[in-house]
């Protein structure tokens, strides 16, 4: 954070405000963690605060403190509009463009007349926010929320609940501290959070070790579909609507499955193709190792983006045609993927 942004933030939060916190559609650990961490912090600072998420959070994150107070925009649209209309400004966390909240909530935010304050670590933020703390070198938005609180002089307001939410976002977005975005500062922050009394072992267990039998069945189908393209050091996985339905798919069940493809020896680029149950699209999650930018790949070919080594995208073609298109595109990257 720049010194100018710090001073403006202090001024903004100096008096009691009605604040709304929003994160992206299909919230993950970093979205939930950063939103709830900011919620706990701002409540302690004396503000009126509401977290509104575009849709339902996955069950494996609903243990987080005060997750029950989150407003689901799709299920409580009138209430969400009422709260937005009474708010003084909105914190947008863990996304860099308003379309990331989905079509329905995007309408509400496009019509919002008060300021936005963005905190986010994705590449190429759009210009919708009046105030912006953006840093794509950060491991997670939760790491940025920790820095935000400390930089404006409120480290004393950090408590166990806030620390628990921050740690959850860090541990999920860093792949349990194994991704390249994990730095010395990330580990130092984790150490500070443990000193605040978080139960880091329980956080990891509650987040990663609460699989349903149906999710494990879906994982089995995904692993059976793995295809390795050795000449491109690439692997992909696909899941059809039939796969999802047969396994009683629940929100969050496919999170992290793409990393199994990336774990294959020699693979530098991995993708999972998922046929959406509600929308007539194929969703892509892309992961890479080293210098290969899946952000650029997703942005150029699949209307997506995100981070250098972790991005998302979508295709309006069917599954077969999407995979054929993907394979044809790979031909342009053979040298780069074999460096």
Q: Is the dihedral of CA 135, 73, 271, 218 positive or negative?
A: positive
pTM of the model: 0.88
The tens-digit pLDDT sequence of the chain (339 residues) is 999 999 999 999 999 999 999 999 999 999 999 999 999 999 999 999 999 999 999 989 999 999 999 999 999 999 999 999 999 999 999 999 999 998 899 999 999 999 999 999 998 898 899 999 999 999 999 999 999 999 999 999 999 999 999 999 999 999 899 888 899 999 999 999 999 999 999 999 999 888 888 899 999 999 999 999 999 999 999 999 999 999 988 888 898 899 999 999 999 999 999 998 888 899 999 999 988 999 999 999 998 888 888 999 999 999 999 999 999 999 999 999 988
Which value, in Å, is the radius of gyration of the alpha carbons in the chain?
20
Tell me how far apart the alpha carbons of residues 217 and 273 are, in angstroms, rounded to a whole number: 17
Work out the angle at residue 178's Cα, subtended by the Cα atoms of residues 173 and 181, and round it to the nearest 5 degrees: 60
Largest CA distance in the chain: 60
Q: Is there a contact between 239 and 272 (Cβ–Cβ < 8 Å)?
A: yes
CA dihedral 337, 257, 281, 55 (to 10 degrees): -130
Pull the structure tokens for residue 99. Answer: 């379309």
pLDDT given for residue 279 in this prediction: 80
Residue 339's pLDDT is what?
A: 80
The CA–CA distances, whole Å, from 242 to 274, 284, 291, 294 equal 11, 17, 35, 28
Structure confidence at residue 306 (pLDDT): 83
- State the Cα torsion 316-239-257-145 to the nearest 10°: 30
CB 164 within 8 A of CB 65: yes
Predicted pLDDT at 24: 95
Q: Are 280 and 306 in contact (CB under 8 A)?
A: no
HEC states along the chain?
CCHHHHHHHHHHCCCCCEEEEEECCCCCHHHHHHHHHHHHHHHHCCCEEEEEECCCCCHHHCCCCCHHHCEECCCCHHHHHHHHHHCCEEEEECCCCHHHHCHHHHHHHHCCCCCEEEEECCCCCCCCCCEEEECCCCCCHHHHHHHHHHHCCCHHHCCHHHHHHHHHHHHHHCCCCCCCCCCHHHHHHHHHHHHCCCCHHHHHHHHHCCCCHHHHHHHHHHHHCCEEEHHHCEEEEEECHHHHHHCCCCCCCCCCCHHHHHCCCCCCEEEEEEECCCCCCEEEEEEECCCCCHHHHHHHHCCCEECCCEEEEEECCCHHHHHHHHHHHHHHHHHHHCC
Query: What's the CA gap between 181 and 192, in Å, rounded?
Result: 19
């Amino acid at each position: 954070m720049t010194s100018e942004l710090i001073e403006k933030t202090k001024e903004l939060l100096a008096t009691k405000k009605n604040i709304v916190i929003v994160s992206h559609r299909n919230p993950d650990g970093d979205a939930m963690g950063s939103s709830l961490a900011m919620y706990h912090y701002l409540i302690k600072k004396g503000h009126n605060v509401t977290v509104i998420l575009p849709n339902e959070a996955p069950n494996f994150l609903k243990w987080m403190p005060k997750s029950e107070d989150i407003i689901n925009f799709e299920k409580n649209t009138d209430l969400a509009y009422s709260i937005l209309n009474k708010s003084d400004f909105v914190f947008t966390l863990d996304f860099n463009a308003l379309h990331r909240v989905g079509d329905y909530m995007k309408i509400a935010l496009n019509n919002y007349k008060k300021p936005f304050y963005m905190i986010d670590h994705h590449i190429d933020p759009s210009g919708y926010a009046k105030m912006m703390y953006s840093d794509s070198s950060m491991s997670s938005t939760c790491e940025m929320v920790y820095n935000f609180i400390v930089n404006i002089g409120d480290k004393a307001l950090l408590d166990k609940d806030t620390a628990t939410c921050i740690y959850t976002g860090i541990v999920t977005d860093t792949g349990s501290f194994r991704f390249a975005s994990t730095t010395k500062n990330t580990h130092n922050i984790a150490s500070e959070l443990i000193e605040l009394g978080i139960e880091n072992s329980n956080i990891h267990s509650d987040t990663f070790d609460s699989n349903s039998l149906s999710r494990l069945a879906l994982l089995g189908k995904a692993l059976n579909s793995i295809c390795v393209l050795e000449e491109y050091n690439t692997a992909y996985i696909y899941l059809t609507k039939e796969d999802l339905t047969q396994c009683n798919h629940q929100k969050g069940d496919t999170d992290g499955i793409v990393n199994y493809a990336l774990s294959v020896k020699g693979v530098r680029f991995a993708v999972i193709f998922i046929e959406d149950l509600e929308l007539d699209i194929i969703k892509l999650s892309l992961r890479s190792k080293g210098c290969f930018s899946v952000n650029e790949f997703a942005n150029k070919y699949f209307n997506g983006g995100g981070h250098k080594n972790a991005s998302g995208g979508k295709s309006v073609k069917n599954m077969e045609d999407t995979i054929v298109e993907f394979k044809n595109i790979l031909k342009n990257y053979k040298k780069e993927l074999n460096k």
